[in-house]
Amino acid sequence: MTRKTIFFGILVCGSILVGCAMVGPIMSDVEKPKYQATALVNEIELRSYDPMLVAVVQVSGNRKDAISEGFRVLADYIFGNNTLDRNISMTAPVEQQAGQKISMTAPVQQQQGSNSWMISFVMPKKFTLKTIPKPNNKMVKINEVPAQRFVTIRFSGTNSDANIERAESALFNYIAQNKINVTGAPKYAFYNPPWTLPFMRRNEIMVQLLDD
């Protein structure tokens, strides 16, 4: 093998890696929910979210299977399976939450009730409950979510159970040490498509603050 061939191979591999690194963030450059944040420590923030409109679906199964199935159903809705036969712009993140059945906030979310999960997308801000295309699939619900506050932690890497458990433990340790009053189960937020390189991914865990 000549030096020229080796150099060409390295160049091609490098181009592929750069392309993979860039496509995730580019594909994730979509509308995201607005919030005001106060930085705390080690990627932990206090956030105040404005009211929002979300599309939500309840699915059963383990966490990874549930979010995949919920994403599929919601994507079908926003890609035209609605009463206006109209595409709705994708938003980020996808969120997933475990716990009681409560109203969802932000992007794609996942929430668990018993052995079920609530998966949701935040709808673009231009829509209201009156103007949003109604889903044809009865599994999909459109909910109005009031302004809410969360304590959050941000982490990179994959959305593996081990990474989630590690970040969740750090967040709840901070909550306990600082005597922060929270309510409900943690919510998992995933901002990037699965082909994004792990070190460039944005993942979050959010816990709702209990209003005084």
Looking up residue 73, the CATH number of its domain turns out to be 3.20.80.10
List 204's β-bridge partners, or say none. 154, 189
* pLDDT per position as a tens digit, 140-197: 999 999 999 999 999 999 999 999 999 999 999 999 999 999 999 889 999 988 888 9
* CA atoms of 160 and 110, how far apart (whole Å): 14
Does residue 44 sit in helix, strand or coil?
strand
Query: What confidence category does residue 90 fall into, taking pLDDT thresholds of 50, 70 and 90?
Result: confident
* pLDDT per position as a tens digit, 96-133: 776 443 333 334 555 555 578 889 899 999 999 999 99
- What pLDDT sits at residue 24? 47
* CA atoms of 97 and 57, how far apart (whole Å): 12
Which residues are CB-neighbours of 142 under 8 A, at least 6 positions away? 53, 54, 55, 56, 123, 129, 132, 134, 135
How many domains does one find in the chain?
1
Q: What is the DSSP letter of 200?
A: G
* pLDDT per position as a tens digit, 2-22: 654 444 444 434 433 444 444
Is pLDDT above 80 for 78? Answer: yes
Section 55-79 average pLDDT: 91
Q: Give 98-155 as a 3 state SS string.
A: CCCCCCCCCCCEEEEECCEEEEEEECCCCCCCCCCCCECCCCCEEEEECCEEEEEEEE
Section 14-37 average pLDDT: 60
* pTM for this model (two decimals): 0.78
Containing domain of residue 166, as a range? 1-212
Which residues are CB-neighbours of 176 under 8 A, at least 6 positions away? none
- What pLDDT sits at residue 37? 95
